[in-house]
Every structure is written in C-alpha cells, then in structure tokens.
C-alpha cells in the first residue's frame, strides 16, 4: 500500500514536471510547486532539499526508465538478430510512451537553457554504465560483433531508432511510429547495424 509520504512525494514530482514544462526551471518556485501539489513548503523541502535536487531526481528517473527499458542479458547461444530485435522493440515502446516523452521534453527544454546544469547531470549519469553498453561489451568479448567501443556502438544503435522515433516527437511534436510498424522498423535498424558490425551471422 502506498504511504501518505510516498503519495505526497509523487504529487510534488508531478507538480514540478507540470510547472517546469509551463514556466521553465528558472520560472518555477518551490512555493508554486507546494501549492500545486497541495502540500506545505516544508513537506517539499523534506523530500527535496532544493529545486535543483528535485530537477535532478526527475532527470535520474528518465535515465533509469530508459536504462530499464534496455535491460537484457547477452545470450551466447542465441543469434544476435533476435536479441537486437528485442532491444529495438523495447526502445520503441519506451520512446512511444507519452509519459516518457513528457519527461524528456521537460529535460530537453531546460538543458538548452541551462547548459551548465545539463553538463553536470550528464557527467554524473555517465559514471553509471548502461545495460545496452554491457550487452555490447559481451557481444564484443565473445567476438560476435566487430566493434571497437561498446558504448559508442550502443549509442549508434539507439541513434538509428531515435532519429525517427524520438527526436521528431520531442522537437516537432510529430506522432510516434505506430505499434503496427514497430516490427518492420526494428528489423530495418537491426539490418543496418549488423551490416556494419556483424561478423558471421546474417539476418
């Protein structure tokens, strides 16, 4: 059962997201967050010592959600194509989720206006290795992929997806790729990736 404290914390985060999206980071006060969340200002500070800490919590939530979506264990006995397909489909489901897009829009807007804050947050997250990087490392270790840098390979793999299924939605408000097209699009991504980095396996 959700505790009262947990419900208040969730209300604070939801209020902060709404206000950051409407007014930006600088234009949002902790008083306004408390008022919208219908809690006292002291309650807000009990959960988050500063507005910066609250924003960083939202950013970390986005990072954790994205990392969880790419959660996969490398399977030595399985072909690479179905494993990559699963990763691609997981990512497509994530970037098509409206709540994730909403959080991402909040972050992107503030990262543009607050580059120093963005750099500090990204540097902290970069210390945490992503699930996809770990998967790529295993594929490289077992000589299943011809890659020099696992992190770079993972970034490229996701960039093939996000170029059409994330950035147009974030930057221009375009509709996400329909679920009915996910399989076809994911297969195209995997085909291109393996054409460059695959070794002996073929789709």
CATH of domain 53-197: 1.10.357.10
Q: How far apart are CA 194 and CA 52, in angstroms?
A: 41
Give the model's pLDDT for residue 11.
95
What is the number of residues in the chain? 203
CATH of domain 1-49: 1.10.10.60
Q: How far apart are CA 106 and CA 85, in angstroms?
A: 29
Domain range list for the chain: 1-49, 53-197
The pTM for the full model equals: 0.81
Phi, psi for 139 (deg, rounded to 5): -65, -35
Give the model's pLDDT for residue 203.
43
Phi, psi for 145 (deg, rounded to 5): -130, 145
Please report, in tens digits, the pLDDT of each residue of the chain (203 residues total).
469 889 999 999 999 999 998 898 889 999 999 999 999 999 999 999 999 999 999 988 888 888 887 788 999 999 999 999 999 999 999 999 988 888 888 888 888 888 888 777 777 766 566 889 999 999 999 999 999 999 999 999 999 999 999 999 998 889 889 999 999 999 999 999 999 999 754 44
């Amino acid at each position: 059962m959700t505790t009262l404290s947990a419900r208040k914390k969730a209300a604070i985060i939801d209020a902060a997201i709404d206000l950051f999206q409407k007014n930006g980071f600088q234009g949002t006060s902790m008083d306004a967050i408390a008022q919208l969340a219908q809690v006292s200002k002291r309650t807000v500070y009990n959960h988050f010592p500063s507005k910066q800490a609250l924003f960083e919590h939202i950013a970390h939530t986005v990072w954790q959600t994205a990392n969880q979506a790419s959660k996969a264990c490398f399977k030595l006995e399985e072909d690479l194509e179905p494993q990559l397909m699963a990763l691609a489909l997981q990512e497509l489901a994530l970037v098509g989720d409206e709540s994730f897009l909403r959080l991402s829009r909040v972050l992107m807007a503030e990262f543009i206006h607050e580059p120093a804050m963005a750099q500090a947050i990204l540097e902290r997250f970069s210390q945490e290795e992503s699930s996809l990087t770990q998967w790529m490392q295993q594929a490289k270790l077992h000589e299943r992929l011809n890659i020099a840098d696992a992190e770079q390979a993972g970034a490229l793999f996701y960039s093939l997806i996000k170029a059409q299924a994330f950035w147009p939605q974030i930057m221009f408000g375009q509709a996400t790729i329909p679920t009915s097209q996910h399989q076809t699009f994911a297969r195209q991504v995997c085909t291109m990736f393996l054409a460059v980095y695959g070794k002996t396996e073929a789709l």
